[in-house]
Amino acid sequence: MEAIDFKYIDEGNANVAVAYTGSNIVYKNKILRIPKKKVDMRKIYENYTYIYNTMLPEYRMNLELIGFEKDFIRELMVKIDKERNRNDELDLACEEGLLMDNLVSGEGSNVLAVEIKPKWGFVPPEYSACRFCLHEELKARKKNIPLGKFCPLDLYSGDFNRILKSVNDLRATPKNNLKIFYQQENITDKPIYIGGKNITNLIASILYQCPVLQNIKHFQEKFHDNVEELYQLKMNLEEHLIHERLSNFMTSVCLKDLSLMISFYVDNTNLSILEEDNHLVESLAKVHLSGGEGAVEGIPFKVTAIDLDYKNESKIAGLKDLEVELKSVCSKKCSLQRYLYISKERNE
């Protein structure tokens, strides 16, 4: 495995993803996901398999732990340096990463991949508004940045028009909740039509008809816990007494931060990436579904859950502090029109 055979795809706070472009059949159509800091890779691998096996079996990808030869990371850093737009360095001592299916590329067809980070699908009793929107409001106030339009409660609502609205909102203000790739290049800000239909319509139609978001929401809620209470118990009790509660809560934290990749297998005759939007009127598209795979208006697609990293229990103190801050956002007069949904959601 040579660093020269890898192409930079993207990265988050914790990991960099690079795609294999060489000719070794073992790595063909694979992505290497490399942690930036020292982590327990086996625990991360086990968390992916635990979630795939027990919660999201239909949205899994192939995955294996892989060891790096000495100097591989150093050579890779040089190779991808110009394409990265972050200043943090990779961990040169990193010995292991995850080798996974490349969801933004395919064999025999072109891949258009839509990545959505859906966040929290429900409002827990400790909050009086959408937790994501409160956090948006807090970030906007602290950093003096504009609010995004996206509200996850629309995305998870199960109502086609609200799902479509949320996907359009994501298109308008994608932030880190939406990315679109075509042939491994990021094209998030381009108008995109497949088979004459706006990509937002196809995404909304899939998410309306595929139960993936309802599955995620179900387990987020099932394993959710009151973080302030959990923090107090953690401080005052022996940890083994609340081991199961803590571990369930960390699973919920992971499910509130995962992403979905919808990979469309398109050909040049049914794809147009435009320079300007032509505002077609949209309606529900025809979806045939079998597990996490299917076809929308005849175009094959696959839905995969990614970013299922194990979340460390040491996060609890920070999450408790954040919750206290978010509750203070709740109590102040807030500009969010999506507050209006809360009472409706609660009464449903």
Ligand X SMILES: Nc1ncnc2c1ncn2[C@@H]1O[C@H](COP(=O)(O)OP(=O)(O)OP(=O)(O)O)[C@@H](O)[C@H]1O
Ligand Y SMILES: O=P(O)(O)O[C@@H]1[C@@H](OP(=O)(O)O)[C@H](OP(=O)(O)O)[C@H](O)[C@H](OP(=O)(O)O)[C@H]1OP(=O)(O)O
Interface residues with ligand Y (CB under 6 A) are 12-14, 135, 176, 253, 256-257, 311, 315, 319
Give yes or no for residue 100 binding ligand X (CB under 6 A): yes
Of residues 33 and 217, the one with the C-beta less far from ligand X: 33
Asked whether position 259 contacts ligand X by CB under 6 A, the answer is yes
**Cα-flanking dihedrals φ and ψ of residue 113, to 5°?**
-120, 135
Q: How far is the CB of 59 from ligand Y (least distance, A)?
A: 19
Please state whether beta strands 197-198 and 192-194 pair in parallel, antiparallel, or not at all (unpaired): antiparallel
Quick one: tokens of 14?
């914790």
Residue 100's binding partner, choosing from ligand Y, ligand X, none, with beta-carbon cut-off 5 to 8 A by kind? ligand X
Residue 17 beta carbon to ligand X: minimum distance, rounded to whole angstroms? 3
Q: Does 260 bind ligand X (CB under 6 A)?
A: no
194 binds, among ligand Y, ligand X, none (CB under 5 to 8 A by kind): none
The whole-angstrom separation of Cα 160 and Cα 284 is: 8
Task: Tell me how far apart the alpha carbons of residues 172 and 166 are, in angstroms, rounded to a whole number.
Answer: 10
For residue 161 the two structure tokens come to 């028009």
- Residue 46 or 159: the one with the smaller Cβ distance to ligand Y is 46
Q: Is 265 in the site for ligand X (CB under 6 A)?
A: no
Beta bridge partners of 293: 290, 302
Chain-centre distance for alpha carbon 43: 19
Applying CB under 6 A, which part among 9-17, 52-60, 208-216, 276-284 lies near ligand X?
A: 9-17
CA distance 32 to 98: 6
Which of ligand Y, ligand X, none binds 311 (CB below 5-8 Å, type-dependent)? Answer: ligand Y
Instruction: By CB under 6 A, tell whether 255 contacts ligand X.
Output: no
Cα–Cα distance for residue pair 318/114, rounded to 1 Å: 31
Report the C-alpha gap between 286 and 296 in whole angstroms: 6
Interacting residue ranges for ligand X, rule: CB under 6 A: 9-15, 17, 31, 33, 61, 100-104, 115, 179, 259, 306-307, 309
